[in-house]
């Protein structure tokens, strides 16, 4: 199960279907066909209802064919409803929607039954723009050329259409059954999807073309669904705070609780939201790349072949690795890396400075052109037959990332005059964050040393938030409120920040009072 | 001047332009470009404002080009505003609209300056569908074949586009300056324009596809204007009560006065509305064709060459004719026909039964294959060199029409328990009604014998009403109220109606007490 929908949402999807039996026209009740239908819809609480001029002949033909007994589908456009479809007779129409997590590295699709309020199917594909840039900035630069810009949009659209088509075919549905799409992505990805120029997103003062995207039709983006299918794209708060984060906040219900909550989405960036029902502050920082596995030499995403769990024997320093998919190891993913650093530290292989302890003897500790390294897997256990090792350089890169994350967490909490001990719920989300074991992350000083029950994993919170919006249209108001409520804090690089950062570069930290639960192994202090 | 706009309308056109200077983006105010604009529009009272996804890049480019000083154009969609256009800098944009009277015989176009609230130009063309049927019913039958239906729609559209283009060119404007169109036509013409199947309009129980047309874009109908130009089509009340009548009611302000008013639109049909600010009843009947000049042998519309005014010398029975455009006479239009019948009657040529008085000697009274006739113009004065005469058969046809009109007026007034003497304002409108001289119409018993000041001519009241809606968007609510308020009365052909009709076939009527002001000439009683 990718996520569990919260029980508090109400069953009021963005798209509704209802069966109507209209009084037959007569000389004494000779209103127009469409007006007759709208009159009864108004009685059922749907008003104003608007039909697109090009659809009226079709809609009215169905009304006549059903002898004024029809099943209608209505789409929620906030200030009005759209009469999307009319089907002759009382039909049990499937009413499907897609909730889509538009990640810069991965697109995750959930096919929903909007009537039952359930996920029918799930699928995901790599973001097809990756060949044009691993990171968002590169893609923005590539897109400066108009033909590239159009290409990047087309790649996304084709990927959407192929995946949705495949999922529908497998589930035995038609694209005409899809009446709603809700999508959340970061600001740049959302711009690409909508065909909006992302150039100013990465230029000071970092201004998106739009934060609040208009509700539109799937057809406006050439997405294959019912021609009138409603498309809702989550709003951004700014260039560095996208709709994915808003979906996160919705998904964990952060804006609804009295307790102070902290949400950190660890993906390509680390994005942080702190607050409760009364206030929300947010910030973002480039803490992610190394964590996500993209920068460390043998790092990779959490895909089959990735080492995701590691334990190291305290006596003989031999590792025990778990490889995703049970295959030979191809690399090491973010959670594996955290385990590795933590275990190397706890077993005394690493010093508090992140250096390999030369006084330890193990055949796993070798010298490489990159300096001392620890062999995680010998060639016999890897897919390319080469030893998979981690060097001091890799570790240094990783520690910078973890230090950046911890620093951001410290700074944002401090900015509002609070400490970590005030945080009652700590959500670690994101493609990478999802897989983190908080107990290990605490040991290396990446996450604050809070009681473990404070940490909550909830699966794909972005996907969850997106699905929630499709299933409960009242949440669109909540989303707007959240967007207006968030105070986005720019983190200026100053002395205070640099001092925090330097302390956090150590394992777990230079100030050990911050990590009372972490026992420093003998000899780790170098 | 085709009409005078009433002074009570407020200057709140369906399309508004305003100049905005936005605070420049900065790190501390880094909202999206479009959101920045919408924020300031909200402060100016425009909310919610929606931009079409396909337009956003263009709109924002203008915003940037103008360095956040822009002129915007907003279109009123009732439950929201549409951001139609953004132009860099403070520009004095022309803001034009077309008010169009979509008649079944003639299309009348008014080009409006929406800012100044003024008519810039006026033009009209025959309805291009006429070759496919003089009357609406024939056109509906022709349109049963799908290819004909599309052809009839295309003819209208092409005619619209050609005329609007010509008017704009003459006035020195571009089609991109046209941001709004308001159109009123009868129910069938409105269906043709919108591409809606009119088949059920003429089948019992006479149901239009739609009464209240959705607000749409000119582009939806492939009309040449600004791509986002707003198009408002006046709603119908039913198959036989179209948006043109609603425009009439608006144009004369009938729904706003305390005094009892009666409006009769004499065109192809006669359509009648009776009421005041508290109640409105309406009915329609086939009283028109002969009046409009379409049925009488030498009848024609009020175009150059039509005899529109006639006086007959009481002594020598010689006529004195006024011909429109000062040309040779080609025919006789409705108002000419009323004059002719009235003058023939007053000079003793016609009996109360509508027969030519054989006891009168005049070379103008001749025998024709159609029976006795009166020569209105000799061949030397006509465009085809043939005598232009009116026969007893023509007169009979005309009297049936005038009797039908008088009967309908009597019946509808009686239905609500009132008499003509209660009517304080009597509006005679329509392409033909416009030209009627009430004093002459009373003499032949076509209109009730009320004080002449009760009759009010106001020019093209349909065009006036349509222009008013474009210039004052608050009237859209009034229009809906009027539509809901109108009680449409079906006139069943019964004995009472037939007796009324038989009496009204006489000149002026069998019951002379109804026409105390009319002096019956000697010998008119045959």
CB B301 within 8 A of CB B291: no
Smallest CA–CA distance from A187 into chain B, residue:
B32
3-state secondary structure of A39: helix
Residue B95 has pLDDT above 90, yes or no: yes
Residue A97 has pLDDT above 80, yes or no: yes
CB contact under 8 A, A54 and B209: no
Tell whether B222 lies on the interface with A, counting CB pairs under 8 A. no
**DSSP sequence for B11-80:** SB-SEEEEEEEPPPPBTTB---HHHHHHHHHHHTT--SEE--GGGHHHHHHHHHHTTTEEEEEEEE-SSS
Other Cβ atoms closer than 10 A to B8: 9
First to last CA, chain B: 45
What pLDDT digit, counting tens, does each position of A295-337 carry? Answer: 567 778 788 999 999 999 999 999 999 999 988 999 998 889 9
Q: What is the pLDDT of residue A250?
A: 96
Per-residue HEC secondary structure of B321-337 comes to EEEHHHCCECEECHHHH
Chain B contact probe: residue of A79, A214, A221 with most B CBs at under 10 A: A214
User: Which of A43-57, A489-503, B187-201, B400-414 shows the lowest per-residue confidence on average (mean pLDDT)?
Assistant: A489-503
CB B96 within 8 A of CB B178: yes
Residue B91 has pLDDT above 80, yes or no: yes
- Distance, in Å, from the CA atom of A391 to the CA atom of B321, rounded to the nearest integer, reads 111
CB contact under 8 A, B212 and A56: no
Residues pairing with A126 in the sheet:
A106
CB contact under 8 A, A195 and B57: yes
CB contact under 8 A, B60 and A26: no
Q: What is the pLDDT of residue B493?
A: 67
If pLDDT is split at 50, 70 and 90, which confidence band does B1 have? very low
Closest Cβ opposite residue B60 in set A31, A48, A209: A209
Residues of A in contact with B211 (CB under 8 A): 31-32, 34-35
CB pairs under 8 A between A and B: 134
- Burial of residue A402, with CB atoms counted within 10 A of its CB: 0-12 exposed, 13-18 middle, 19 or more buried: buried
Closest Cβ opposite residue B209 in set A50, A56, A239: A56
Residues of A in contact with B205 (CB under 8 A): 25-27, 30
How far A411 CA sits from the closest chain B CA (Å)?
19
- Distance, in Å, from the CA atom of B469 to the CA atom of B99, rounded to the nearest integer, reads 9
Smallest CA–CA distance from B59 into chain A, residue:
A209
Q: pTM for this structure? A: 0.91
- Distance, in Å, from the CA atom of B142 to the CA atom of B446, rounded to the nearest integer, reads 34
Q: What is the pLDDT of residue A211?
A: 97
CB contact under 8 A, A196 and B57: yes
How far B218 CA sits from the closest chain A CA (Å)?
11
First to last CA, chain A: 45
Q: What is the mean pLDDT of residues B359-386?
A: 93
Q: What is the pLDDT of residue A1?
A: 46
Residues of A in contact with B220 (CB under 8 A): 53-54
Residue B480 has pLDDT above 80, yes or no: yes
Percent of chain A whose pLDDT exceeds 70 = 97
Which is it for strands A49-50 and A81-88: parallel, antiparallel or unpaired? parallel
Q: What is the pLDDT of residue B473?
A: 98
If pLDDT is split at 50, 70 and 90, which confidence band does B117 have? very high
Q: Please choose, from the candidates B428, B463, B472, the residue with its C-alpha nearest in 3D space to the C-alpha of residue B287.
A: B428
Smallest CA–CA distance from A194 into chain B, residue:
B53
How far B220 CA sits from the closest chain A CA (Å)?
7
Q: What is the mean pLDDT of residues A221-234?
A: 96
Q: What is the mean pLDDT of residues A17-35?
A: 94
**DSSP sequence for B242-282:** -HHHHHHHHHHTGGG-SS-EEEEEESSSEEEEEE-SS-EEE
Q: What is the pLDDT of residue A412?
A: 92
CB B169 within 8 A of CB B87: no
CB B266 within 8 A of CB B288: yes
The runs of H, that is alpha helices, within A66-145 are 136-142
Sign of the alpha-carbon torsion through A29, A33, A35, A36: positive
What pLDDT digit, counting tens, does each position of A276-286 carry? Answer: 999 999 988 76
Q: What is the pLDDT of residue B287?
A: 61
Residue A522 has pLDDT above 50, yes or no: yes
Smallest CA–CA distance from A193 into chain B, residue:
B53
DSSP class of A70: E
CB contact under 8 A, A490 and B27: yes
Residue A222 backbone zone (phi > 0: left; psi -120 to 50: alpha; other: beta): left
Helices B475-485 + B461-471 axis angle, to 10: 130
- Contacts by residues B410-415 (CB-CB < 8 Å, ≥ 24 positions apart): B410/B500, B410/B504, B411/B283, B411/B491, B411/B496, B411/B497, B411/B500, B412/B272, B412/B274, B412/B281, B412/B282, B412/B283, B412/B489, B412/B491, B413/B262, B413/B274, B415/B281, B415/B489
Residues pairing with B118 in the sheet:
B113
CB contact under 8 A, B31 and A207: yes
User: Which of A210-219, A472-481, B156-165, B352-361 shows the lowest per-residue confidence on average (mean pLDDT)?
Assistant: B352-361
Q: What is the mean pLDDT of residues A76-89?
A: 97
3-state secondary structure of A182: strand
If pLDDT is split at 50, 70 and 90, which confidence band does A287 have? low
More confident site: A487 or A493: A487
If pLDDT is split at 50, 70 and 90, which confidence band does B14 have? very high
Sign of the alpha-carbon torsion through B505, B510, B515, B520: positive
Which H or E run includes B433?
helix B430-433
If pLDDT is split at 50, 70 and 90, which confidence band does A526 have? low
CB contact under 8 A, B216 and A53: yes
Closest Cβ opposite residue B212 in set A35, A205, A211: A35
CB contact under 8 A, A210 and B52: no
What pLDDT digit, counting tens, does each position of A328-369 carry? Answer: 999 998 889 999 999 999 999 999 999 999 888 999 999 988
Tally the C-alpha atoms within 13 A of residue A268's C-alpha that lie toward its C-beta: 18
CB contact under 8 A, A54 and B210: no
- Distance, in Å, from the CA atom of A283 to the CA atom of A405, rounded to the nearest integer, reads 11
The pair phi, psi for residue A428, each rounded to 5°, is -110, 115
Chain B contact probe: residue of A26, A55, A60, A210 with most B CBs at under 10 A: A210
CB A228 within 8 A of CB A72: no
- Distance, in Å, from the CA atom of A412 to the CA atom of A410, rounded to the nearest integer, reads 6
Q: What is the mean pLDDT of residues A78-105?
A: 96
Which chain A residues in 15-44 lie under 8 Å from chain B, judged by CB atoms?
25-27, 30-35, 38
> CA A167 → CA A97, A123, B453, distances in Å?
12, 7, 75
Q: What is the pLDDT of residue A499?
A: 87
Number of H helices, E strands in chain B: 14, 22
Which is it for strands A118-126 and A106-113: parallel, antiparallel or unpaired? antiparallel
Chain A contact probe: residue of B30, B33, B206, B480 with most A CBs at under 10 A: B30
Residues of B in contact with A80 (CB under 8 A): 79-80
**DSSP sequence for A285-306:** ES--HHHHTSSSTTB--SSTTE
Q: What is the mean pLDDT of residues A212-233?
A: 96
- Burial of residue B316, with CB atoms counted within 10 A of its CB: 0-12 exposed, 13-18 middle, 19 or more buried: exposed
What pLDDT digit, counting tens, does each position of B317-348 carry? Answer: 999 999 999 889 999 988 899 999 999 999 99
How far A41 CA sits from the closest chain B CA (Å)?
15
Mean residue pLDDT across chain A: 92
Q: Which residues are CB-neighbours of B239 under 8 A, at least 6 positions away?
A: A30, B187, B188, B200, B201, B202, B206, B207, B208
Residues pairing with A426 in the sheet:
A262, A455
Q: What is the mean pLDDT of residues B46-50?
A: 96
CB A180 within 8 A of CB A75: yes
Q: Please choose, from the candidates A174, A19, A26, A32, the residue with its C-alpha nearest in 3D space to the C-alpha of residue A88.
A: A19
Tell whether B238 lies on the interface with A, counting CB pairs under 8 A. yes
Which chain B residues in 395-414 lie under 8 Å from chain A, judged by CB atoms?
none
The pair phi, psi for residue A262, each rounded to 5°, is -130, 130
Q: What is the mean pLDDT of residues A261-270?
A: 85
Tell whether B490 lies on the interface with A, counting CB pairs under 8 A. yes
Q: What is the mean pLDDT of residues A65-84?
A: 97
CB contact under 8 A, A48 and B79: yes
Rg, chain B, Cα only? 26
Smallest CA–CA distance from B24 into chain A, residue:
A205
């Amino acid at each position: 199960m990718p996520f569990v929908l919260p029980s508090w949402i109400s069953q009021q999807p963005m798209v509704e279907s209802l069966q109507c039996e209209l009084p037959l026209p007569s000389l004494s009740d000779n209103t127009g066909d469409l007006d007759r239908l709208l009159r009864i819809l108004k009685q059922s609480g749907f008003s104003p209802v608007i039909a697109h001029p090009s659809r009226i002949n079709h809609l009215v033909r169905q009304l006549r064919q059903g002898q004024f007994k029809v099943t209608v589908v209505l789409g929620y456009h906030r200030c009005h409803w759209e009469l999307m479809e009319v089907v002759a007779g009382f039909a049990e129409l499937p009413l499907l929607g897609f909730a889509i997590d538009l990640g810069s590295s991965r697109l995750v699709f959930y096919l929903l039954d909007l009537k039952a309020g359930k996920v029918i199917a799930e699928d995901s594909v790599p973001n097809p723009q990756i060949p044009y840039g691993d990171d968002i900035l590169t893609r923005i630069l590539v897109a400066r050329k108009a033909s590239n810009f159009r290409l990047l949009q087309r790649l996304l659209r084709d990927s959407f259409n192929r995946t949705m088509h495949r999922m529908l075919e497998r589930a035995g549905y038609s694209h005409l059954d899809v009446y709603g799409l809700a999508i959340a992505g970061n600001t740049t990805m959302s711009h690409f999807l909508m065909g909006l120029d992302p150039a100013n997103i990465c230029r000071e003062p970092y201004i998106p073309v739009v934060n609040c995207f208009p509700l539109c039709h799937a057809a406006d983006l050439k997405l294959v669904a019912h021609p009138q299918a409603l498309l809702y794209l989550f709003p951004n708060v700014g260039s560095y705070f996208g709709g994915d984060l808003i979906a996160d906040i919705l998904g964990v219900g952060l804006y609804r609780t009295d307790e102070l909550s902290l949400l950190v989405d660890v993906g390509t960036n680390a994005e942080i939201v702190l607050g409760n029902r009364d206030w929300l502050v947010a910030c973002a920082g480039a803490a992610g790349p190394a964590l996500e596995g993209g920068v460390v030499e043998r790092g990779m995403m959490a895909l089959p072949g990735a080492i995701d769990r590691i334990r190291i024997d305290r006596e003989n320093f031999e590792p025990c690795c778990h490889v995703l998919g049970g295959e030979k190891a191809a690399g090491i993913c973010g959670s594996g890396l955290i385990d590795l650093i933590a275990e190397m530290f706890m077993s005394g292989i690493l010093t508090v400075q992140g250096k390999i302890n030369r006084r330890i003897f193990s055949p796993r500790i070798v010298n490489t052109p990159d300096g001392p390294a620890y062999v995680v897997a010998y060639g016999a256990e890897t897919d390319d037959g080469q030893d998979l090792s981690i060097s001091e350089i890799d570790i240094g890169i990783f520690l910078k990332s973890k230090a950046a994350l911890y620093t951001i967490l410290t700074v944002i909490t401090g900015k509002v005059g609070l400490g970590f001990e005030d945080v009652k719920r700590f959500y670690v989300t994101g493609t990478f964050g999802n897989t983190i074991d908080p107990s290990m992350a605490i040991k290396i000083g990446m996450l604050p040393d809070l009681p473990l029950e404070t940490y909550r994993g909830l699966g794909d919170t972005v996907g969850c938030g997106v699905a929630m919006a499709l299933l409960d249209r009242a949440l669109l108001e909540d989303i707007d409120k959240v967007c207006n409520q968030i105070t986005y804090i720019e983190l200026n690089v100053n002395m205070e920040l640099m001092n925090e950062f330097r302390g956090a570069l150590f394992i777990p930290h230079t100030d050990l009072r911050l990590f009372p639960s972490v026992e420093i192994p003998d000899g780790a202090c170098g």
